[in-house]
Structure 1
């Protein structure tokens, strides 16, 4: 096993599982190959997620490949690129920089292009790798053209994905919060506006992270320690580098020629890149030819002296390199310089080809230019690619402008990006491994082309189209923060209000997928203003009403609460603009449901709003019932919203309306009706193609289906919905949220091994997310605490109850589920009096939003506790519970079992055990046998 795997604490069996995960095998395939159970595989995968420090299976597969590269190179706990050539000299600089990195949390290796900053930084990182338990990681920023994408580049290098509710920058800092890591950020100068705030945020939130950056200019970050990388010393290092590279080419230099080598290195100012390129010319020019090529007349090709003498020397060297190429090869080299990332020969043909430069000439030119060390060959699983060093690329872009070809070639590159985006969008198997690789290979070029085109008025239409394509592709790649930003960018790149509003709506949907309710609200309001300004009142009404409903449907995700009455004001405006448009009327009706359910609005005001809504629109609606309680009004409004949504034929509108109806039915206490409505909603969304809107609805629908399944005692379906939720790509980085519903269902069923296995993934994901305040996750933590309680592990139970408190929620909010879980443990431990005390509050005295899916469990366990505690009104508890839980396959038998105990009829308990078995609740099955004093328990 490699040292890096040992350093991560990975066992031999886990290493086998990790290797197969890296091959993208399913758990079932891994189990079959290793002759172990699927459950054992799940346990190993959960452990690997924790040890490797990632939150989803995709990132784990990428890290598996990195471990393999590390093993092949013999490195220890470092993910650094291996070099094909040796590191020569610079012992003093290497030692000094190494000590600087040990002493300071941020060191910038500063120097001009070609001086050797990257090689020195990599050598130092390799020296220090074993001192950083979290490893040394290299991030190449050369392909990144957008400062906002620095965090994305770092996340990709670390194998991290975006976590819902957090930007990639925040996800990186959360993942590295407690890890001791050396992060090498290479080539920062063109991204200082993005790198500086990223480093500042990272160091402020990750006390054990050290950053070693390379740049041509200071990053101006607080506490930045600058180490100026000098040219190679002419007496030793520069000559040694030349001799080493010449020998590697099979051209050793005789001792009597060392003076000539010293002269050449001096005229190149000791710049490492220049010396390496000069040495590469030795087989074709010899030392005499090299000296002649570096004469002053060739230096004058720069066009005058430059302020940076070292830069002037690099430019002179590149001018000289250009002079050694044919006109055709120079044309190929300058044209392919527009590529931001490694490119294939076919890509080069598409961008560099022209009537005077046919595809064969481009391919031949690539080969000759590569032989001259002006391009580097990059081999990958997707074939051979080419890449220009950044110094050369910058030089060639200037040559492209000088030749008058810049606009033409950039346009071809833009067209290539658009065509590539179209191919990716048309792929019948999006988000597969091959598709992801293809997207990753092209994404940096798309971003670069978009950056260029967005600032030119004549390219705005092309930039808008590319921004839309990139937004769609980024969403499929699960880069949802970039997707939102690209949609917003697209909206700003068009003067067509219809297109702009459409992009803003899609951006709002993506914001919802990110759990950014504030952004979602802002973007729908912007869409309403944009389309309203164009005179489309109905569309504006839809957007205003959707903004209003966002306040209620996404209330838990609002960073700042919306001002009181603001949503109601939007709804009033939307109602005035809706006219007879079916979609607008459906959106308004849905928003009315939200306003009525708003807990911040007084009941009387809610009724007024609801009544006004029902009496001010469509006369064909169902009239309000005579008993005008908020609950009956809510049911009427929700039913009307469903009817109007059905008329639109829009499945997303129908899903949202069914969600409102299910919520109203829960509010009314009819959880079986809510369960049926939720099933209808799930069936509606199953066959929908993946879009931000459908993804958001599907997450919401599956989450609620899993919850309501618990409420009606359908644990098997609840678990099935929860498993589907966990497998959604959107939740790949949210192990805490994706696992929470499963934890609750398994805990109530009594699948304690599964609970304790899943709890590892839950806690790891929550901690990697920075231990956020998340009341919605608290029931899952309480379920884990219950599992430990049933196992008799009081210390672990106390730890998880503390996590429940940290996750948040008011004591009232926590009361129902905490009482249920605590009562199960207390009853199991033979303490019915204490259990009854936990359940002492009358269920009707609890807020419906608090008790919601827990009502049946609450009253059933309350009846059992009353019977076992000998409460004088135990029979009354049983009778009241019977009415409530009728039809629940688990809560119902719990109540009837309590009645049998009350009648001292233990013979009936075996029949209840069978009922629990049919209901997939092994814990209550075993408890029935225990209460019957059956030895099988």
Structure 2
């Protein structure tokens, strides 16, 4: 016998939204985007890493949209649910449905929503993806006036789904024109700090430290809120000093929070558990990159017998879908990024796997190869591409150099990398840094060699670009002496060129003419001489004096 569904006497047509217990900070553009997509699509899925504020943002959205739905806005919290078979019952309970029939739960739900104009929020779907996706399809087919917003660390993979990734909050420096006081990360910290320490005031004495703290926390709202809790016992500067171990420091959220939101480590660990084993391994290996990187770099550095090169693209796509990797597209192409918090978590796993040094070496070899390719192509038709590319790779080049300089047996590779990037130091705006690294690398490699000779003439070139002609002359003369010793004829020619450049800078035109003339006369490889002959070719009258 089929019993009819009963509507409880206390059922509220306006819905069951939880109260907003804290102030909502920032996200103005994001909320506008979500409203626009909700008008255009019946299913919007909000994705993002753990602790980025998916649930809080959607709750704010839901409160703002309440008046638009005649039958209310309803909130179903799936976070604590472990059994996918209970998704339908959990949602039915959230909707206030008292079903006394023997029908399938999905059938009851579909009948309930069929004629209703309502918004349903499904919060935290990532661990129940299949069950949630199937139910969403059933409900949207049954009710033409139903709209659904889901939060998840990955999409539901439905064809009509509109996916809206939630990035971390903007941090100081993202918008150079923005005041530190109006930055949304800083405002969130100030708001939560005021709740912990009632007399906390954001002012000129602490704004710098607060801004740096928010930047180092990557604008992750959970991390910022956990840091604010620490103000009970620490100053902002003390929190900054202890941030090297951010996972231990950032704990102590409200006891009513979900376990995975009580510490930053738990929040990131939840995302880690949702990844397939191959994705976890790639996550760990990608932690060797600094800043962002291109797909070909991930293939070169991270592939081996455990992760085939041809599988890297799909695994990277999986990490993007699970909100582990951020994706950035522009006219220069597509690049990927692990924010610092996720990179640090990956580094811990890479160390546990015993792969840190192997991956660091692979990273170094990739950027050495890239540097050599860019050097060969610098004077060609794609110079602008290489200018943009190598500026993008600046952080990765720096990390590769630091690894090479501190690793026994790899300091010679540092010389090769530095020398290949002569154009980057001078033409891309890193002259001072190039000089510092070249001098360090030469000190670490005191034995004359062809690699050292090239580094010496590049150092002379860099010093010339700084206007330090005396130091440029010294490096060029040393290059000439050592080149003769090791039998490096190309370096002898380039040393002559650099001595001529130094003489030109010092106003000795006769000496410059003689030395640059020798360099041009004996050069048989225009590619090698390119950086050195620019002063000579730009002053044709000089060669006639």
TM-score (norm 1): 0.31
Partner of 2:346: 396
Instruction: Specify whether residues 488 and 555 from structure 1 end up closer, same or farther in structure 2 by C-alpha distance, changes over 3 A only.
Output: same
Partner of 1:217: 241
Task: Return the alpha-carbon distance in structure 2 between the equivalents of residues 697 and 535 of structure 1.
Answer: 27
Task: Return the alpha-carbon distance in structure 2 between the equivalents of residues 695 and 419 of structure 1.
Answer: 25
Partner of 2:115: none
Task: Return the alpha-carbon distance in structure 2 between the equivalents of residues 317 and 512 of structure 1.
Answer: 51
Helix, strand or coil at the partner of 1:510: helix
Task: Return the alpha-carbon distance in structure 1 between the equivalents of residues 295 and 473 of structure 2.
Answer: 46
Instruction: Specify whether residues 233 and 540 from structure 1 end up closer, same or farther in structure 2 by C-alpha distance, changes over 3 A only.
Output: closer
Select the residue among 411, 414, 422 that pairs with 2:364: 414
Equivalences for 1:624-635 in 2 at 5 Å? Answer: none
- 1:451 equivalenced with 2:402 (yes/no): yes
Alpha-carbon distance, 1:330 to partner? 0.9
Is the 2:415–2:441 Cα contact (8 Å) retained in structure 1? yes
Select the residue among 247, 256, 259 that pairs with 1:263: 256
Select the residue among 500, 520, 535 that pairs with 1:651: 520
Select the residue among 531, 534, 545 that pairs with 1:695: 534
Partner of 1:481: 432
Equivalences for 1:558-577 in 2 at 5 Å? Answer: none
Is the 1:335–1:409 Cα contact (8 Å) retained in structure 2? yes
Task: Return the alpha-carbon distance in structure 2 between the equivalents of residues 352 and 318 of structure 1.
Answer: 21
Deviation per CA, 1:33-59, whole angstroms, max 9, x where unpaired? xxxxxxxxxxxxxxxxxxxxxxxxxxx
Task: Return the alpha-carbon distance in structure 2 between the equivalents of residues 452 and 549 of structure 1.
Answer: 35
- 1:519 equivalenced with 2:471 (yes/no): yes
Task: Return the alpha-carbon distance in structure 2 between the equivalents of residues 540 and 328 of structure 1.
Answer: 47
Alpha-carbon RMSD across the aligned residues, in angstroms, is: 5.2
Alpha-carbon distance, 1:483 to partner? 4.1
Partner of 1:387: 337
Is the 1:414–1:449 Cα contact (8 Å) retained in structure 2? yes
Task: Return the alpha-carbon distance in structure 1 between the equivalents of residues 528 and 496 of structure 2.
Answer: 25
Task: Return the alpha-carbon distance in structure 1 between the equivalents of residues 238 and 374 of structure 2.
Answer: 34
Helix, strand or coil at the partner of 1:385: strand
Select the residue among 307, 322, 340 that pairs with 2:290: 340
Instruction: Specify whether residues 439 and 330 from structure 1 end up closer, same or farther in structure 2 by C-alpha distance, changes over 3 A only.
Output: same
> More helix by proportion, 1 or 2?
1
Alpha-carbon distance, 1:340 to partner? 0.9
Helix, strand or coil at the partner of 1:384: strand
Deviation per CA, 1:571-601, whole angstroms, max 9, x where unpaired? xxxxxxxxxxxxxxxxxxx89x66xxxxxxx
Select the residue among 178, 195, 213 that pairs with 1:78: 178
Task: Return the alpha-carbon distance in structure 1 between the equivalents of residues 223 and 275 of structure 2.
Answer: 32
Is the 2:185–2:219 Cα contact (8 Å) retained in structure 1? no
Instruction: Specify whether residues 479 and 88 from structure 1 end up closer, same or farther in structure 2 by C-alpha distance, changes over 3 A only.
Output: closer
Partner of 1:372: 322
Partner of 2:384: 433
Alpha-carbon distance, 1:393 to partner? 0.8
Alpha-carbon distance, 1:652 to partner? 7.6
Is the 1:334–1:399 Cα contact (8 Å) retained in structure 2? yes
Task: Return the alpha-carbon distance in structure 2 between the equivalents of residues 400 and 523 of structure 1.
Answer: 41
Alpha-carbon distance, 1:334 to partner? 0.5
Task: Return the alpha-carbon distance in structure 2 between the equivalents of residues 463 and 342 of structure 1.
Answer: 21
Unaligned runs of 5+ in 2: 1-169, 225-235, 244-248
Bigger radius of gyration: 1
Instruction: Specify whether residues 516 and 213 from structure 1 end up closer, same or farther in structure 2 by C-alpha distance, changes over 3 A only.
Output: farther
TM-score (norm 2): 0.50
Is the 2:426–2:465 Cα contact (8 Å) retained in structure 1? no
Helix, strand or coil at the partner of 2:392: helix
Task: Return the alpha-carbon distance in structure 2 between the equivalents of residues 91 and 465 of structure 1.
Answer: 50
Task: Return the alpha-carbon distance in structure 2 between the equivalents of residues 105 and 703 of structure 1.
Answer: 57
Deviation per CA, 1:481-534, whole angstroms, max 9, x where unpaired? 3444454455445455142233212311332232112321332354366557x4
Task: Return the alpha-carbon distance in structure 2 between the equivalents of residues 213 and 471 of structure 1.
Answer: 39
Alpha-carbon distance, 1:114 to partner? 7.6
Task: Return the alpha-carbon distance in structure 2 between the equivalents of residues 350 and 548 of structure 1.
Answer: 39
Equivalences for 1:492-641 in 2 at 5 Å? Answer: 492=443, 494=445, 497-499=448-450, 500-527=452-479, 530=482, 534=485, 553-555=504-506
